[in-house]
Structure 1
Amino acid sequence: MATEVISQAETTVPASITPGELAERLAIRADSPIEQDQHVDQKSPVEQQKPVDQEKPAEQVSSVEPEKSAEEAKSVEQDKTKVRRVIDEEGGSTTATEYPHYLPVWDHGEKYPPWEPFTHTEHGKDADLSFKDLLVDGSKLQHLTPTTGSEVTGVQLSKLSNAGKDQLALLVAQRKVVAFRDQDLADLPIQEALDFGAYFGRHHIHPTSGAPEGYPEIHLVYRNGGAGEFESFLANRNSSVAWHSDVTYEEQPPGTTFLIILDTPEVGGDTAFVNHVEAYNRLSPALKERLHGLTAVHSGFEQAEFSKSHGGVVRREPVKNSHPLVRTHPATGEKALFVNGGCE
């Protein structure tokens, strides 16, 4: 069984996740720049209403419509009472012995109103460049590659002051992915862990994923190794490699992600990262110029339809939004590509 817990602080940009091979560590995701989008289309497509056949008697038309409404009402009522719990599916016992309270639940009765814009504060923008409140005495910062990824030891994130959190936001913006070993966030009450993450931005609630019961702000990635699970994943693929940034279809996508790995396989399941700043920097001047001013449409409709077709939940009606192909991070001033092959 493998479980990953993701808490995403909404800002205006997607983010990366931590390497899967380091168990019970926390990663902060911010692999793309932040820039407020101006091109928004948040309306769900509406089917064109079919005209009433005037040749049919009026009673024939009215007799069909109430029946359809009754079926819809019955479906809605069934959804309200349907709750899927992994712990029940596993017969009341689980291999997740240390963190069973993190096992996912899908409540079909949970429905949320349309997303509303909010004002985001970028805490890394004015942080102390010396990182003195983050990299305290006894800590160590080690870069994993020249441009991307670092590992920090000797720091307990839950104990950081606000100044330390600001410096954390800046370090993540600079290094894109930062891993911290031996953290206690998974052992704290879930609400305390969420309170820590809320400093960096409003929590994002995923519309289709499972979450610990009562805490929809947490996005769980759960695999129990059941028969056919991996085969189903590979059904239309020739590789298990999948590149994506989460929920970029939102008007203000998540910008910082805390990912805690609770349980991983002994081998495999590694997570790789792409630095979109470095990708932009390696483009030719002519191609950079060509991309500026262009936008791409990011859609959540496919994800919602996939969830529905597999008996899953859709807590909020799907949306699609247009974002610039090149975005600028306010804390670093770096430009980066903002493209996503699959919104998850």
Structure 2
Amino acid sequence: MSTTTVETAVQSSLQSLPIQQPYSAPITGNANDATAQAPADATVQSPQAAQTKQQPHSAAPISDGPYPYEHLLPHFSDVKYPPLTPFEHADPGLRALAHPNPRAFLDAATHVSELTPNLGTEIHGVDLAALDDNARDQVALEVAKRGLLVFRDQQAYIDKGPDFWLEWGRHFGRLHIHPTSGHPAGYPEIHLVYKDAHASFNFHIDDSTTSTVWHSDVSYERQPPGLTTFFLLASPATGGDTLFTSQVSTLAALSAPFVAFLRTLKAVHSGAEQAAFSAAGRRGGVVRRAPVESVHPVVRRHPVTRQEALYVNRQFTRRIVGLKREESENILRFLYEHIERAGDCQARVRWAPGTVVLWDNRVTAHSAIVDYHASGERRHGARIAPQAERPIPALDGLQLDG
């Protein structure tokens, strides 16, 4: 695998953090050409095998009695992983298009309602744990179309546990392993979010007036996640909601000449700051894989719906390729502020026991809301994030390499 190391200075605690450039291959506007095979000599170490030499630490349970999900508390192992290799993604939503009734999985629903006209659907009565492969394909198509599905009363799904969650996730793509976050012991593919009054790796955004940080998950990867599954094992009595926005809608709100210009642009997304944050001793203190930077189109095309979506976010997008610094900064600042203030493109998910949320990470952005500090209550969530295709430029012929 061809790699290049460059110096970063994103934090004084990590002034020489290497940036691992993943293997890359040219991309075209055709969805079938948006993937690349790894070199013949590329290998990926088994995370389970690599963990034989780890020195883990985990979150201690809070002292209010036995916690039923103690075995799923965050575990931070300092095992080192090799760079991710490219793979060919086959979107299950494409298979559902050939089904005579691609929404047949909703036949069992007792209630279906839209969260907003353009983003999000809330569904009652469908048992995710009982869906066969055809129904899962249909779910993938519906997520692609609506951006966000909120399934209520899914305790049966949650109770099936981590082996089932991984089997579920693999149906939708190769499972992503986060380079810095906590995971249940033995299950590195499950990204955990955890906060309580006592956990030593809690962190606060002390230098910001808000906890709201809009982002698309790990957009710095060459092939970021697509259909993403998230649910809470424990949640505060009130608060801890999640905000979502449709990047299809945020793009559609812009003028046609400006969108035409944005289609010609590509931007750098970086994982360096996230790695530096962890290496500085925050949120677990581990960096298991060298951080990467990837170049993605500013406007991408969904491989199933063919819809165009804005693809920048304040957390991971760093600069627009080919523009001068001031030009890049001002365009990105405008786009970030547009995404953040466009309430007419947004939906808010209020969590309830047994809720499982699916979103398409390619065409949405989201932010947690950390508004429950005073209560000291536990918020413990699990995310399964299958990777998808390398982002497809909306503009045919836009070259992401070179």
Q: TM-score, normalised by structure 1?
A: 0.72
Partner of 2:89: 120
Matches of 1:145 and 1:165 in 2, distance apart?
23
Cα shift readout 1:105-126 (whole Å, capped 9, x = no counterpart): 0012x11111100110111124
Tell me which of 184, 194, 200 is aligned to 1:212. Answer: 184
Structure 1: give runs of 5+ residues left out of the alignment.
1-40, 48-79
Q: Which amino acid aligns with 2:150?
A: A
Is 1:280 aligned with 2:251?
yes
Task: Give the C-alpha shift of residue 226 in structure 1.
Answer: 3.3
Partner of 2:231: 260
Partner of 2:26: none
Q: Which amino acid aligns with 1:163?
A: N
Q: 1:280 to 1:266 in 2, by over 3 A?
A: same
Partner of 2:298: 325
Cα shift readout 1:237-280 (whole Å, capped 9, x = no counterpart): 01122111111000000111110111111122211111000011
Matches of 1:209 and 1:287 in 2, distance apart?
37
Aligned-residue sequence identity (percent) comes to 43
Matches of 1:287 and 1:118 in 2, distance apart?
33
Q: 1:44 to 1:274 in 2, by over 3 A?
A: farther
Is 1:85 aligned with 2:58?
yes
Cα shift readout 1:186-218 (whole Å, capped 9, x = no counterpart): 211311221011100010000000000000000
Map 1:233-252; keep pairs closer than 5 Å.
Answer: 233-252=204-223
Tell me which of 72, 88, 92 is aligned to 1:102. Answer: 72
SS of corresponding position for 1:253: coil
Q: 1:337 to 1:307 in 2, by over 3 A?
A: same
Map 1:1-344; keep pairs closer than 5 Å.
Answer: 43-45=4-6, 82-87=55-60, 90=61, 97-108=67-78, 110-127=79-96, 128=99, 130-183=101-154, 184-226=156-198, 233-310=204-281, 312-343=285-316
Matches of 2:199 and 2:55 in 1, distance apart?
24
Task: Give the C-alpha shift of residue 228 in structure 1.
Answer: 9.6
Matches of 2:299 and 2:65 in 1, distance apart?
44
Cα shift readout 1:171-196 (whole Å, capped 9, x = no counterpart): 00111110101112221131122101
Q: 1:129 to 1:219 in 2, by over 3 A?
A: farther
Matches of 2:297 and 2:287 in 1, distance apart?
27
Q: Is the 8 A contact 1:158 1:185 kept in 2?
A: yes
SS of corresponding position for 2:150: strand
Q: Which amino acid aligns with 2:4?
A: K
Q: Which amino acid aligns with 1:115?
A: L
Q: Is the 8 A contact 1:326 1:338 kept in 2?
A: yes
Task: Give the C-alpha shift of residue 292 in structure 1.
Answer: 0.9
Q: 1:220 to 1:157 in 2, by over 3 A?
A: same
- Structure possessing the higher relative contact order (Cα contacts under 8 Å, 6 or more residues apart): 1
Q: Is the 8 A contact 1:104 1:222 kept in 2?
A: yes
Task: Give the C-alpha shift of residue 137 in structure 1.
Answer: 3.6
Matches of 1:286 and 1:190 in 2, distance apart?
47
Give the number of the structure whose alpha-carbon radius of gyration is greater: 1
SS of corresponding position for 1:124: helix
Structure 2: give runs of 5+ residues left out of the alignment.
9-52, 317-366, 368-402
Matches of 2:201 and 2:59 in 1, distance apart?
14
SS of corresponding position for 2:231: strand
Task: Give the C-alpha shift of residue 342 in structure 1.
Answer: 0.6
Q: Which amino acid aligns with 1:122?
A: D
CA RMSD of aligned residues (A): 2.4
Task: Give the C-alpha shift of residue 95 in structure 1.
Answer: 5.8
Cα shift readout 1:28-49 (whole Å, capped 9, x = no counterpart): xxxxxxxxxxxxx9633159xx
What is the total number of aligned residue pairs between the two structures? 268
Q: Which amino acid aligns with 1:43?
A: T
Q: Is the 8 A contact 1:42 1:319 kept in 2?
A: no
Q: Is the 8 A contact 2:59 2:199 kept in 1?
A: no
Matches of 1:189 and 1:200 in 2, distance apart?
18
Matches of 1:261 and 1:96 in 2, distance apart?
18
Q: Which amino acid aligns with 1:242?
A: V
Task: Give the C-alpha shift of residue 168 in structure 1.
Answer: 0.3
